[in-house]
Amino acid sequence: MENEYREEGFSIDDTETELDTGVLLLCDNEYGEGYVIIEDYFKAKSALFQMDCLKDWIVSLETTYNELFPVLEAELNEAVSSRKKN
């Protein structure tokens, strides 16, 4: 199974590259709450390394979050339309 990550011309095929960030994003599927686990070995890296990685991830997460606003608006509009029909 091939799994690729692509962003801004950056491509990693994780079948050939070990991807272990030391940071794990988790979600509670029932309540929609998110959690971040940061491993000790990531914390042991230099402050510059950690800050660089964290900022890159924050920007990516914010971009994804902002891209979901029109999707949410469409879902809400559909739900309202559905409710009006019933």
To the question of pTM greater than 0.85 for the whole model, the response is: no
Q: What are phi and psi of 32, to 5 degrees?
A: 70, 25
Query: Would you kindly state where each structural domain of the chain is located, as residue ranges?
Result: 20-85
Cα 24 from chain centre: 10
Give me the residue label for tokens 């998110």.
34
CA distances from 86 to 1, 31, 40, 81, 82 (A): 44, 27, 54, 9, 7
**What residues form DSSP beta bridges with 4?**
13
pLDDT along the chain (86 residues), means of 10: 49 59 91 94 95 95 96 95 82
> What's the confidence (pLDDT) of residue 30?
94
